[in-house]
Chain A
Amino acid sequence: MLGRTLREVSAALKQGQITPTELCQKCLSLIKKTKFLNAYITVSEDVALKQAEESEERYKKGYVPPYNATVVQKLLDQGALLMGKTNLDEFAMGALGSDTGGSTRNPAAHCGVVGLKPSYGLVSRHGLIPLVNSMDVPGILTRCVDDAATVLGVLAGHDCKDSTTVQDPVQSFILPSLTDVSKLCIGIPKEYLVPELSSEVQSLWSKAAKLFESEGAKVIEVSLPHTSYSIVCYLVLCTSEVASNMARFDGLEYGHRCDIKVSTEAMYAATRREGFNDVVRGRILSGNFFILKENYENYFIKAQKVRRLIANDFVNVFNSGVDVLLTPTTLSEAVPYMEFIKEDNRTRSAQGDIFTQAVNMAGLPAVSVPMALSSQGLPVGLQFIGRAFCDQQLLTVAKWFEKQVQFPVIQLQEIMGDCSSVFENDLASVSLKQ
């Protein structure tokens, strides 16, 4: 059951082949068994089981929801169960991810799952704790591209609570199964071939390009000339917005508060020093520097201008006939912890985000699809970047690619054991009614 697609599971639930509570218990059991991975900070077992109960009720009657983040609410409305919150730094969200510079796509690539960053403005940010308001998008992590499309279909659309969501009606996200890619044009940005790219990833990237070519697609080299400026530009804009967004954490209305009574200022300073970790504090301090009156023009405004140039790079490339760009997602497979902590966060971010964050600056949709395991047995994914609001087309291409590469999805003991009996009776021709 846990290895099936969302649609298959949904159908099974509807047909009564498994109850919400049973499914919930399986998930909880798997979480317990994989506790050593420390993927979950909080497991809301009671809440989940209660929601499972309510879900069972709902299969019989209607439902009026209370307040939540819009994307969470939309999922709850569709009958999803919140299993818990997963373990990321204090300002990123859980398995609905959030993607500001790649923070959905990067982990997806390292973990061998699909990580989708939708077009900016397509999915509501109401309820998403903001990092960089002009770049944040709720990210979607799923096991396969079809599931990502399913979830996107639920989440996309105008939200009156988020003024940056587009008003145009959203088309459904049922993905066709592409068989003919001869009309497709794939762009390979040459600036993304950087010296730091590991040879394994480079060769997989190459292999992917050749795959498209061999199946009849047009594969061409393109240029995104301002790529080398994007890290620095991102740094300025990201820290500036972070400094602004974090100004609200003063301990007065919610959260941690220091017990200092000397003065309000002293309390604020102590609370914020204690409440934020080094990375966040560093970003706030840099950000405030960039938006000081005397620096605003030279840093913030300049960075906005460079951002416009970067966004235009993509526009130009798409206007020249390219449908989708193909790039690596990460420089290499996941780096072991001991290796990782050798560099500071800023350097790691700079390295890690190199392929992903220009996409956030341009507001484009992008998806990381797992391709193969490295020689160390760790997953490697590749990234597809699409035109703004052409998320469906992007995912269609991704789905074709996924089918071609047949990435060995992780099979945990549990899944093997329990699913076979339930699925004896065919699911081959499951109808996907919503």
Chain B
Amino acid sequence: MAAPVLRWCCPARRWILANIDRGPRHGRGAPTGSRSSGKRGQSSVAQQPLVTAQKPRKGEHQWAAVVGLEIHAQISSNSKLFSGSQVHFAAPPNSLVSFFDASLPGTLPVLNRRCVEAAVMTGLALNCHINKKSLFDRKHYFYADLPAGYQITQQRLPIAVKGSLAYSICVGKKRNQVINKTVRIKQIQLEQDSGKSLHDDLRSQTLIDLNRAGVGLLEVVLEPDMSCGEEAATAVRELQLILQALGTSQANMAEGQLRVDANISVHRPGEPLGVRTEVKNLNSARFLAKAIDYEIQRQIEELENGGEILNETRSFDYKLGCTVPMRDKEGKQDYRFIPEPNLPPLLLYDSASLPAGADPQQVINIDQLREQLPELPSVTREKLVQQYGMLPEHSLTLLNEVGLLEFFQNVMKETRAEPKKVTSWVLNTFLGFLKQQNLAVSESPVTPSALAELLNLLDQKAISSAAAKKVFEELWRSGGKTPAQIVSEKRLELMQDQEALEQLCQATMEEHPQVVMDLKKGNPRAINKLIGLVRKATLNRADPTVIKEMLEKQLSS
């Protein structure tokens, strides 16, 4: 099934809810085939021509979607949240499992300091209130990848609450209108990750790998302030950038370091919120928006057909491109939360409340962490705009594409060309080539140095823009050569000899007196013809602008 076309009203899309005319589409007159009261019939307003379009789909413009997210980010730390076993991606199965992780009786949880710091830093970056006292709880359920039969989490009193995440989406035909949005953060909590189940249907068995069991997670809960897949995907991307800038999580979705669950419902504007479904384990950036949009569409269709939405858990089938019901649950799960008795309340301090003579190993100072926060993406983007005069949407793209900002900065280091030129080349030409071949920045055959050198040649007017584009193409195709080599191989250098060019101009004019005549008569196209002729004579090694200047000069003398 192809991805469904959006039919409801998402502010980022072309159909904006507020502007939809709910009245008859076809002008003020009554629709065809129905003559109503006489008064209308006597209306002096000219009826607009009826468009022979179909009637609008029932309720097309009358739905609003509500999307909330629960995002689990694996904390970047050396060891797990409550035990000393290491955290590594793709280690041999069950090679990073301590007695505690395997739930051997008698083992006790010991809180990992680095994980707490990661949670506080993330909370600060997301404008949260940090709870100086937070508590740990047990959430019980039976599953093979949960050895203890419960997960240690923070249900009653999490470490951070009430924050916000700002993100920007680009709208408009050229997607160059930047709209700033905010989504509220309900809370951030520390919790354990579970192990991994690998289902072997062939042998009717399930294999359990506990390497991941007990790894620290930050659960970030986003309030249902988003209204479509694009907004959700953009918010997630921004959170990823923040986590990566902080270093608190590598947030790589492909490696399972960032997992998203979406809570989705639809309702008619003005009416209460609809029943929501939970779509779990959206683990691909590419499919996040698609999955959410599909579910929204599914719910709308279901309701329009007189059906009802079940409060259920669904997952996204990537191959089919649709959501499917996930757990067969008769009745809801009761997690039987109780306080975790082996962990005292987590107490955090700030500079004002820090007890005198406290062992720095044993306490965490929120103010100190705040001072040490690295630069956040929004600040980086602002700096780019200020420093290089680029447009906000450019700074968005630079940060959104993995590795692109670094590439850009490396080019800037080695070139004298104007920042605007560099921006344009990186975002248009370079990025264009990448996208065409579906490559990541890291896979680019063109290095920052090569592009810098090319831009320098352009800047020095050693080559024309057209030539530069050709050189770039060649660089892309055969990574080994330098721009200078390519230029000389293809003889693309601009003529530097002014005298020679002047002579050529002169000669060309003498060879084509007719054109010169036309020009003097005032024919506007004649000059271009002349320029073209001179260019040809120079084997395309002269800048048209320069030629034009020269010709005009010669003509006027």
Please report A residues at the B interface, Cβ cutoff 8 Å.
Answer: 69, 125-130, 132-134, 160-164, 167, 240-241, 243-248, 250, 252-254, 261, 264-265, 268, 288, 291-293, 296, 300
Distance to closest chain A CB from B541 (angstroms): 75
Q: Is the interface of B mostly helix, strand, loop or mixed?
A: loop
B149 CB-CB contact with A under 8 Å: yes
Interface flags for B144-160 (1: CB within 8 Å of A; 0: not) read: 10011110000000000
Would you list 29 pairs from A and B whose C-beta atoms are within 8 A, ordered by A residue?
A125-B106, A126-B107, A126-B108, A127-B106, A129-B106, A133-B341, A134-B341, A161-B110, A162-B108, A163-B111, A163-B343, A164-B108, A240-B338, A247-B140, A247-B148, A247-B149, A247-B150, A248-B148, A250-B147, A250-B149, A253-B103, A253-B104, A254-B102, A292-B334, A293-B334, A293-B335, A296-B336, A296-B337, A296-B338
Give the residue of A126, A132, A246, A253 whose beta carbon is less than 8 angstroms from that of B106.
A126
Cβ contact within 8 Å between A292 and B336: yes
Q: A163-B111, A164-B344, A248-B148 are in contact. Are A291 and B338 (CB under 8 A)?
A: yes
Q: Are A248 and B344 within 8 A (Cβ)? A: no
CB distance from A6 to the nearest CB of B (A): 25
A/B pair count, beta carbons within 8 Å = 90
In Å, the complex CA distance between A264 and B208 comes to 12
Cα of A160 to Cα of B359 in the assembled complex, Å: 15
Contact across chains for B144 and A244 when beta carbons are under 8 A apart? no
Most chain B beta-carbon neighbours within 10 Å: one of A69, A127, A130, A253? A253
Residues in A whose Cβ lies below 8 Å from that of B206: 264
Rounded to whole angstroms, the CA-CA distance of A124 and B520 in the bound complex is 103
A254–B204 CB distance below 8 A: no
Q: Please tell me if the beta carbons of A264 and B144 are within 8 angstroms of each other in the complex.
A: yes
**B400 → chain A, closest Cβ, in Å?**
42
Tell me, in angstroms, the Cα distance from A247 to B336 when the chains sit together: 12
Residues A247 and B343 in contact in the complex (CB < 8 Å), given A161-B108, A293-B336? no
Question: Separation in Å of the B349 CB from the closest CB of chain A?
Answer: 16
Q: 1/0 per residue B307-327: CB within 8 Å of A?
A: 000000000000000000000
User: When the two chains form the complex, which single residue of B143, B338, B362 contacts A244, counting CB atoms closer than 8 Å?
Assistant: B338
Q: Assess whether B204 is in contact with A248, with CB atoms less than 8 Å apart.
A: no
B342 interface contact, C-beta 8 A: yes
Q: Are the CB atoms of A163 and B108 closer together than 8 Å?
A: yes
- Chain A residue contacts of B338, Cβ below 8 A: 240-241, 244, 291, 296, 300
Question: Given A163-B344, A254-B104, does the pair A244, B147 have CB atoms closer than 8 Å?
Answer: no
A241 to B144, CA, bound (A): 21
List of B residues within 8 angstroms of A160 by Cβ: 110
State how many angstroms separate the Cβ of B154 from the closest Cβ of chain A: 15
Q: Report chain A residues within 8 Å CB of B103.
A: 248, 253
| B109 within 8 Å of A (CB atoms) | yes
Please classify how large the interface on chain B is, using the bins under 10, 10 to 19, 20 to 34, 35 or more.
20 to 34
In the complex, B138 has a CB within 8 A of chain A: yes
Closest 3 CB pairs of A and B: A247-B149, A133-B341, A248-B103
* Cβ contacts under 8 Å, B143 to chain A: 264
**Contact between chains at B105 and A130 (CB < 8 Å):** yes
Contacts of A264 in B (CB 8 A): 143-144, 206
User: Which chain B positions have C-beta within 8 A of A126?
Assistant: 106-108
* Across-interface contacts of B138 in A (CB, < 8 A): 244
Map CB proximity to A onto B426-449 as digits: 1 under 8 Å, 0 otherwise.
000000000000000000000000
Q: Which B residues are in CB contact (< 8 Å) with A244?
A: 138, 140, 149-150, 336, 338
Residue B142 CB within 8 A of the other chain:
yes
Give the distance in Å from the alpha carbon of A388 to the alpha carbon of B538 in the complex: 99
What is the CA–CA distance of A160 and B362 in the complex, to the nearest angstrom?
Answer: 12
Task: Report B141-182 residues with CB < 8 Å from chain A CB.
Answer: 142-144, 147-150
Smallest Cβ-Cβ distance to A159: which chain B residue: B108
Beyond A250-B142, A254-B104, whether A163 also contacts B149 by CB under 8 A is no
List 18 other contacts, CB 8 Å, given A129-B106, A248-B148: A126-B107, A127-B106, A128-B106, A129-B105, A162-B342, A163-B342, A163-B344, A164-B108, A243-B336, A244-B338, A247-B150, A248-B147, A250-B149, A253-B104, A254-B104, A264-B206, A265-B142, A291-B336
Q: Report A97 CB to chain B, min CB distance, Å.
A: 15
Q: Is the CB of A69 within 8 A of B106?
A: yes
Residue of B102, B138, B336 contacting most chain A CB atoms (<10 Å): B336
Instruction: Give the nearest-CB partner of A255 in chain B.
Output: B105
On whether A163 and B110 interact (CB within 8 A), knowing A133-B341, A134-B341, the answer reads yes
| A248 close to B149 (CB less than 8 A) | yes
Q: How far is the CB of B98 from chain A (nearest CB, A)?
A: 11
Closest Cβ of chain B: how far from A238's Cβ, in Å? 12
- A29 CB to closest chain B CB (Å) equals 31
Q: How far is the CB of A112 from chain B (nearest CB, A)?
A: 30
Q: How far is the CB of A165 from chain B (nearest CB, A)?
A: 10
Find chain B residues with CB under 8 A from A127 CB. 106-107
* Chain A nearest Cβ from B434, distance in angstroms: 46
**Interface-centre pick from B105, B150, B204, B334 (highest chain A CB count, 10 A):** B105
Q: Which of B108, B149, B150, B336 contacts A125 (CB 8 A)?
A: B108
Which residues of A are found within 8 Å of B148, using beta-carbon distances?
Answer: 247-248
Most central of B109, B144, B335 by chain A CB within 10 Å: B144
